[in-house]
Homo-oligomer: A and B are copies of this chain.
Amino acid sequence: MLYNNIIDGICMKENEKTRYFDSVIYLMEQTVVYSKIKGAQFFTQLCMGVTIDQFVALDALYCNSDICQRDLSKLILKDRSNTGRILTILEEKGFITRAAETKGKRLVKKIYITDKGKELVEESIPKLRKAFFQVFEEVTDEEFDNLRNILNKLKTSLSKTTSIQI
C-alpha cells in the first residue's frame, strides 16, 4: 500500500488528488492562527504594557542572559530588523537595557533584562498558564509527549530546508 502522507496527511492512494487545504501542515497553521489570537487577546486584557511578541522576547531573555540581538533573533525566529524593533520598545518601557560590548573581537549590542522585566515575566506566567489550561484538557500526557516530539522533528527538518534570513 502506498501512501502520500506528504502534503495530504489523510492516507490517500497515489493517484488521487490531494488538497493543501486538508494537509496537516495547513491544519497546524490554522491551529496557530487561533493560538496567536488567543495569546494576543490575553496580553491585551492583561494590561501590563506588552504584547505577546514582546513578552516572548522577554521570556527568552529571562533565562538566556548575556546574548546579543542576533542571538535573540535566532531564539525567537524573527529577523534582525524586527528583533531590533521589539527591543527598542522593550527598552523604552524599561524592561531591558542594551549595551555595546564585544563578543570576541566583534562589537555587538548585548541585552540585559531589568528587574522590572523579570517581574513582568514572573507575574505573567501563572496567568498565562491559567488562560491556556483548558486548551490541553482533552490531550493525554502521552499525546502531549508525542506532539512535542513530532513538532521537534518537523521544526528541525523545516529549518534545514527553508532559507530564513537571520
Contacts and interface: CB of A to CB of B under 8 A. Distances in A.
Within the oligomer, what is the number of copies of this chain?
A: 2
A146 to B, nearest CB: 5
Interface string A1-18: 001111111110000011
Contacts of A11: 141
A20 B158 contact: no
B29 A144 contact: no
In this complex, the member of A3, A11, A17 whose beta carbon has the largest number of chain B beta carbons within 10 angstroms is A17
Q: Is the interface of A mostly helix, strand, loop or mixed?
A: helix
A92 interface: no
Interface of A: 3-11, 17-21, 23-39, 41, 55-56, 59-60, 62-63, 75, 77, 122, 125, 128-129, 132-139, 141, 143-144, 146-155, 157-159, 161-164
Given A23-B132, A35-B154, A139-B153, 5 more contacts: A6-B136, A7-B125, A19-B59, A24-B144, A28-B31
